[in-house]
Structure 1
Amino acid sequence: MNNYKLSRLSLAVIMGAFTASGAQAYVPGGTLNPNDIPKYVTPLVIPPVMNDTGIGDDYDIGMRQFQQQILPGGIWNTLNGRNDSFPPTTVWSYGPATDPRPDSRALGGGQNVAPAPNSQFNYPAYTIEAVKDTNTSVDWINQLVRRADRCRAVGGNIGTERANDCKFIKHILPVDQTLHWANPKARCDKGELRTDCHGQTQMTYNGPVPIVTHVHGAHTGASSDGYTEGWWLPNASNISCVPRDVNGDPSWRPAGGEYVCEGTIANLLTDRDGFNDQNIGNGVGHFEYLNDQPSATLWYHDHALGMTRLNVYAGPAGFWLVRDPSAVSGETGMQEGILPGPAPIAGEDLVTTNFPAELGGSREKYREIPIVIQDRSFNQDGSLWYPDNRAFFDELNVEGTAGTANEQYPGAGELQINFSGNNAQDKVSDIAPIWNPEAFFNTMVVNGTTWPELEVAPSLYRFRLLNGTNARWLSLSLPTINPVTQQLRVPVIKDHWYREVNTRNGQYKGPWMPYQVPVEELFMYQIGTEQALLPKVVAVREGKATQLNYNSQAWAFEQMPYIEINNQLIIGETDQGFDGQGLLLGPAERADVIVDFRGLPDGTVIRMLNNAPDSPFGGFPADELPDADTTGQVMQFVVNHALLGTSPTDEDRSASGRLRNPDTAATSPWDLRLTGVESSLPTPTITREMVLLEEESKLVCVSEDAAGNLFQEVGMLPPCDNGAVPHGPQSAILGTIDAAGTSQGQLWSDPISTNPAVGDVEDWRLYNYSADAHPIHVHLVKHKVMGREAIGGGQSVAVGTPNGLEAWEYGWKDTVNAYPGDVTTIRAEFDLPGLYVWHCHIVEHEDNEMMVPFCVGDVCPDKLF
């Protein structure tokens, strides 16, 4: 975690973090012990589809503050018959701007508490369904005011009778003003009077919150991409907006209530990119989305400069699904087959999608479900917990708290250094006081509830998985479990039907025949990545990933590739073995998977587990496992035979095995014919050498004393001596490699150095010189992963094929794992002009310099170069 090696005890030893069995204790953070939260007692929420304004593909979407029953209790007691009493959690999220505030009292919840049938405001946000090649128009409205439902601050003047309801609310999490952030108060550390800069003060920010929405993976004009300096404040009654170019008035000083209400780039991109689609003002940003891309699993979230980690942790994120009605099963790249369904559609409310038939709903019918996996920590009052001091990351206590009730790490020392921000201390520092380089939390939250459960029919299901965490990698598997003894991988007998295949034409022949096979873990059959379907289905289980050959055998085995037929292993192409790795997802990555529950006995329990660590990730084999009792578990599935037949894609078989509904039944993943989306690109016009770096402090040397305190060596600057080391990491950054082979780090405020021409195809070679993996996201483009190799040559850290690609990386992606010590090469076409960014999607990194702009063509403001 840290880039200095000191002798103090590790956190695990300090906190007694290893039990007698060797299992690691849960991640610290928050006053609510995650082991006190009952697991698998709340149902998995199936996100409904958000309604538009009544004009097709036009939305007015607000971001608001409300409460959500994330922990057991409230509305969930109505569904599970329990009497849990955990309080609701204050969150932010999106919903139709004219909706009332949530009211779930009639269902056992509370006033202003979601989920609620009367309001679409929910965490995570409802899904936006988009149609390929059909524009979607959205007014994104900052409604972070006291009572947005009564204020309706969507533009124009606010009447005095609404002034109290329209007052802005401050952030629910600690904002570090010393980072390079939006800074609406326009007071910079070097005295400049402008926004989007390093702030002066170590105090947390208590002003109105800037937002700007980014649809992650969207192919759209720069003015609607959610550029991180294109933010806006709410149209609140207690804000006095001042001109953005305050530097033109050297006498200006922000008075109480005075803020710059729009970011530096707001409205500057309109017309420059050829899309007259951006109009930011009065608390609203009008964006247009082209959807001119293959069907895909996208998502939308906030992207404000220096605040993404906090704004997204507060809740605002949702799925944005692009469908292709002209393609087989609505999916570009599907040649033959039927995918599991249905998915929720517009007009189906919360009760329809999440309540069983006996309570007026129809949740039993859904076979396509988007699932976002996140980690959170909570306090006993239900509030979200996020670290408010750098000491937490360093596994130390805030100076002056050791031995008190506020001690975060009992038995550990204190962090005794100066911090950046020039108004609190006279000694210089470049270490941010609040920002943590990465943040890991102790409770798994899936679709807005902790450790949920989904009852499933013995059928095929399609899950669109999103890693929505701040910094955590996920490595997922689906073992069976004995719910009484909690023993994993207990064999259950799975019933199958099979037919022989004519080897000359690949067609099935002969009668259906039954067979049984013991199963200890289900495969996840991955059919797509972030940007499109894959060219081949990939079967993934812990320790194994295999590309399937269509109809390569007469059998559709759940135990593939361990079953032998005629003394031959059933395998496909690109058969990869891993040391413990399951379905791997870095932050922001998505996986479109099918899970086959067919033939499992009634009551079978399948648990989704995670074996990626509770710490920075560097590849498998991982240095440590997550806590088995908390972050090592995600959710579980329980097979219920009574649900069979509630979906038209469920199989209906006769006693002899004949399929009665071949025209509607979902196709076995072994028989799906995918072509993928054409993923070849021309020879690149240019190859760019990019670097990923981790920075140590240039101003702070630290040593450790006998009490375990980490203290600053006064008067010493790096390079340090006498056993002291630079404190770090101070930040993570991106950069380039110059003609001499020297790494040149680039900060957000530096002139733009990456300027593809419109239509250029480029290779970007990402040299990761840091100690951790980074999920790299390039805005605008979908990319092809071309390969990985060790820096200097040799085998990649990624276990697999000689070119270092995982079995699921042969299609289009928008986020790639760049492993430490590796060169990862991606190829993309930059086909639209405008100003975009590329960044690490560990959002703590992104918020502190690991994001830089690039410009396509010659349309960007000259001052940026």
Structure 2
Amino acid sequence: MYSRRALFKTGAIVGTGFVLSNALGRWTRVHAQATGGGTAILATPLPQYVTELPDLLASPLTGTQLSIPIAANSHDFGLGLAGVTTTPTWGYGGATYLGPTIVAQSGTPINIDWINNLTGNINAHLLPVDTTIHWAHPSSGIPVVTHLHGGKNLSLSDGLPDAWVTNTGQRGRLAQPATTGSGNSLTYKYPNEQEAATIWYHDHALGITRLNVYAGLAAFYIIRDAFDTGAPDNPLGLPTSPYEQLIVIQDKLFTTIGELFYPASNADLALLAPNAPVFPGNAPYPSVLPEFFGNTIVVNGVAWPKMTVEPRLYRLRLLNGCDTRFLNLFFNGNLVQMYQIGTDQGLLNAPVPVKAVTIAPGERADLLVDFTRAVGRNVTLQNNAPGTFKRPIVVDPKTTGQIMQFQVGATVGNTTNNLVPVTLRPPASPTITIPPTPTQPPRQLALFEWLPLNQNPPEYGRLTPLLGTVADGAILWEGNLPETMTFVGTEITGGGLYYTENPRAGSIETWEIYNTTVDNHPIHLHLVRFQILDRQKFTATQLTPISPLTNIKFQGKAIPPAPEEAGWKDTVICPPGQVTRIVVKFELPSEETTPAEYVWHCHILSHEDNEMMRPFVVEP
């Protein structure tokens, strides 16, 4: 059994560092963890545990026909700065930041019009956009596209990175034809043909996902079913609102005037750390960084909030909405008991007692948290996720080591659903079992990091994380190899893309994901849910860091997932130097036709934006 906490002990989990050139022209990995030391970066200690946690389930969107605009706004993060009340942000559906929670019913389709009401061209973006990387490249307007992460989506409604639309009506390769006069909207249909689960929607526009999400474009999408109904009389006996809460955790940087800050140049890095290495002299401004770490924890849009709770059982649905930061969440002492009841794609078979919960960017964890013993006390949810390098990322126990505080009252107002259930899968509900063993050989994929020798456009000698196969090595988005630019795979759907992953509809496959890098990567597959089989250390021979793998040898035993990770997943942590094996059934929505295009990628947003993403196509 592979304990997720054990990944920390091996230095295998959590976080990565900027890769920058030094004065000698040699490239080294260093941590440019934000310290707030520069005059433009907010260094004043912010108030903690003052603002009440916003209840994201208080006013959900329901119904089957929704219209959700995407627009600029301003938001109060609770920074407590003199003369600063709000920060320029983006939001969905009229929200000043994030968006409304959508509550759907399993088996009941929802149609949503996503309307791009942003203004201006790309130079009007809230954050600096690197136009030298592989991105949407509109000639006017700002591109957005909404992906329902964890949804069993139709391909044309999945929110694929090439399906973007701008406020001026320009559209990406996979965007639906315009149906309105202005052409600035996309109408998506979500079949919701899946179990109850905690999923979410966020922007996925090619090459600027990290920036659009950082500006505010992310929110929850909750699927209910006949068992997890959300009503007090639900057959599982799970706590319901207000004892059920949604919690999205992010990290940010702010300027001294309360604006969002996202580093994109040598000068920006100098503000973060005086001795930070620099980009090559010819690197463009703005320039993409491999990873991002903020110094301010934001929960549900508020910096270090509090939540007033009763001394009883609560259901907390957690989402790691960070760009890069992994989280290992815990309470000190034994006043608070935690039980994990669900993963990305739904409930476990039974509650699992846990001392800590590890979630990578994009992952969700569904918890029952019992505050009974903490009556009259203040208890703080903390984070101690280290880094993956020899010198781990510093987690400041006073800032990034603190998430939020629960202030426990003295009395219980309602005792309904106040016991931890014995089972989460009653007889009428299918239990979680490993799908049948595939008949075909495993599909062997790999994770790479490319340090181009080319110091000229478009690479500029910058580190680029990539996906690929064991047989071919690293592969760029379109299917070409980084150094030779020759194509591998098959062109199936046209449009110049070559696919190396082409499972058949309804087939069951084992994917072996070999991580040749020094980082953990949370790998996300669109469309499907899967289960983790095991992880195992390996060695292999490579001519270069992006070459094919040969002479693969496994070390030690293959270790299955811990009980809290043994549910349905859509995002999996792949530790460095290990092969992660998952079993996947490529089940399409009932209305889908083949071939149908989707993508798989690293969910460190700065990685997927800079080429660590590949399309796959489901064939007949």
TM range, normalised to the smaller chain? 0.7 to 0.9
Q: Name the CA shift for 1:699/1:7 in 2 (closer, same or farther; >3 Å).
A: closer
After TM superposition, list the pairs within 5 Å mapping 1:233-244 onto structure 2.
233-235=166-168
Question: Does 2:451 align with 1:696?
Answer: yes
Q: Name the CA shift for 1:786/1:522 in 2 (closer, same or farther; >3 Å).
A: same
Letter aligned with residue 71 of structure 1: G
Q: What does residue 164 of structure 2 align with?
A: 231
User: Per-residue displacement from partner, 1:331-385 (whole Å, max 9, x unpaired)?
Assistant: 9xx996411122xxxxxxxxxxxxxxxxxxxxxxx10000000000101221100
Name which of 227, 249, 262 aligns with 2:171: 262
Distance in 2, Cα, partners of 1:665 & 1:412? 52
Q: What does residue 820 of structure 1 align with?
A: 576
Q: Name the CA shift for 1:776/1:411 in 2 (closer, same or farther; >3 Å).
A: closer
Question: Does 2:460 align with 1:584?
Answer: no
Q: Name the CA shift for 1:337/1:467 in 2 (closer, same or farther; >3 Å).
A: same
Name which of 27, 35, 52 aligns with 1:26: 35
380-389 or 841-850: bigger deviation: 380-389
Q: What does residue 71 of structure 1 align with?
A: 78
After TM superposition, list the pairs within 5 Å mapping 1:403-552 onto structure 2.
409-411=273-275, 414-419=278-283, 434-479=287-332, 489=333, 519=334, 521-541=335-355
Q: What does residue 555 of structure 2 align with?
A: 794
Q: What does residue 155 of structure 2 align with?
A: 222
**How much does 1:825 deviate?**
0.7
Q: Name the CA shift for 1:178/1:233 in 2 (closer, same or farther; >3 Å).
A: same
The 3-state SS of whatever aligns with 2:156 is: helix
Structure with bigger RCO (C-alpha 8 Å, 6+ apart) = 2
Name which of 521, 526, 550 aligns with 1:779: 526
Q: Name the CA shift for 1:795/1:69 in 2 (closer, same or farther; >3 Å).
A: farther
Report sequence identity in percent: 38
Q: Name the CA shift for 1:414/1:601 in 2 (closer, same or farther; >3 Å).
A: closer
Q: Name the CA shift for 1:466/1:328 in 2 (closer, same or farther; >3 Å).
A: closer
Distance in 2, Cα, partners of 1:122 & 1:674? 38
After TM superposition, list the pairs within 5 Å mapping 1:165-184 onto structure 2.
170-184=124-138
The 3-state SS of whatever aligns with 2:466 is: strand
Contact 1:693 1:732 in 2 (8 A): yes
Distance in 1, Cα, partners of 2:39 & 2:312? 40
Contact 1:130 1:136 in 2 (8 A): yes
After TM superposition, list the pairs within 5 Å mapping 1:562-581 onto structure 2.
none
Q: Name the CA shift for 1:781/1:635 in 2 (closer, same or farther; >3 Å).
A: same
User: Per-residue displacement from partner, 1:532-581 (whole Å, max 9, x unpaired)?
Assistant: 1012211111xxxxxxxxxxxxxxxxxxxxxxxxxxxxxxxxxxxxxxxx
Q: Name the CA shift for 1:820/1:51 in 2 (closer, same or farther; >3 Å).
A: closer
Q: Name the CA shift for 1:411/1:284 in 2 (closer, same or farther; >3 Å).
A: closer
Name which of 239, 247, 250 aligns with 1:340: 239
Letter aligned with residue 91 of structure 2: S
Name which of 461, 475, 478 aligns with 1:745: 475
Q: Name the CA shift for 1:390/1:129 in 2 (closer, same or farther; >3 Å).
A: farther
Distance in 2, Cα, partners of 1:765 & 1:308? 27
Letter aligned with residue 855 of structure 1: V
Contact 1:267 1:279 in 2 (8 A): no
Letter aligned with residue 628 of structure 1: P
169-178 or 627-636: bigger deviation: 169-178
Q: Name the CA shift for 1:212/1:370 in 2 (closer, same or farther; >3 Å).
A: same
Q: Name the CA shift for 1:535/1:794 in 2 (closer, same or farther; >3 Å).
A: farther
Structure 2 unaligned segments of length 5 or more: list them: 1-16, 25-29, 481-497, 539-552, 589-593
Q: What does residue 770 of structure 1 align with?
A: 517
Distance in 1, Cα, partners of 2:58 & 2:288? 35
Contact 1:774 1:817 in 2 (8 A): yes
After TM superposition, list the pairs within 5 Å mapping 1:82-481 onto structure 2.
85-95=83-93, 120-145=94-119, 170-185=124-139, 207-235=140-168, 261-267=170-176, 282-324=183-225, 326-327=226-227, 337-342=236-241, 366-389=242-265, 397=270, 409-411=273-275, 414-419=278-283, 434-479=287-332
**How much does 1:794 deviate?**
2.6
Contact 1:391 1:415 in 2 (8 A): no
Q: Name the CA shift for 1:596/1:177 in 2 (closer, same or farther; >3 Å).
A: same
Letter aligned with residue 340 of structure 1: P
Contact 1:298 1:531 in 2 (8 A): yes
Q: What does residue 12 of structure 2 align with?
A: none
Q: Name the CA shift for 1:45/1:822 in 2 (closer, same or farther; >3 Å).
A: same
Distance in 2, Cα, partners of 1:134 & 1:2? 44
Contact 1:64 1:93 in 2 (8 A): yes
Normalised by the length of structure 2, the TM-score is: 0.82
Question: Does 2:69 align with 1:62?
Answer: yes
Q: What does residue 41 of structure 1 align with?
A: 50
**How much does 1:281 deviate?**
6.7
Letter aligned with residue 95 of structure 2: F
Letter aligned with residue 434 of structure 2: S
Contact 1:29 1:377 in 2 (8 A): no
**How much does 1:805 deviate?**
1.4
Letter aligned with residue 69 of structure 1: D
Q: What does residue 249 of structure 1 align with?
A: none
**How much does 1:608 deviate?**
0.6
Name which of 562, 576, 579 aligns with 1:806: 562
Q: Name the CA shift for 1:133/1:411 in 2 (closer, same or farther; >3 Å).
A: closer
Q: What does residue 736 of structure 1 align with?
A: 469
Question: Does 2:375 align with 1:601?
Answer: yes
User: Per-residue displacement from partner, 1:797-855 (whole Å, max 9, x unpaired)?
Assistant: xxxxx524133111100000000000001111112241000000001000011001011
User: Per-residue displacement from partner, 1:452-484 (whole Å, max 9, x unpaired)?
Assistant: 0011101100000000000000000012xxxxx
Letter aligned with residue 361 of structure 2: P
The 3-state SS of whatever aligns with 1:844 is: helix
Distance in 1, Cα, partners of 2:195 & 2:431? 7
Letter aligned with residue 527 of structure 1: I
Distance in 2, Cα, partners of 1:696 & 1:838? 22
- Higher Rg: 1
Distance in 1, Cα, partners of 2:369 & 2:278? 48
Name which of 598, 606, 610 aligns with 1:848: 610
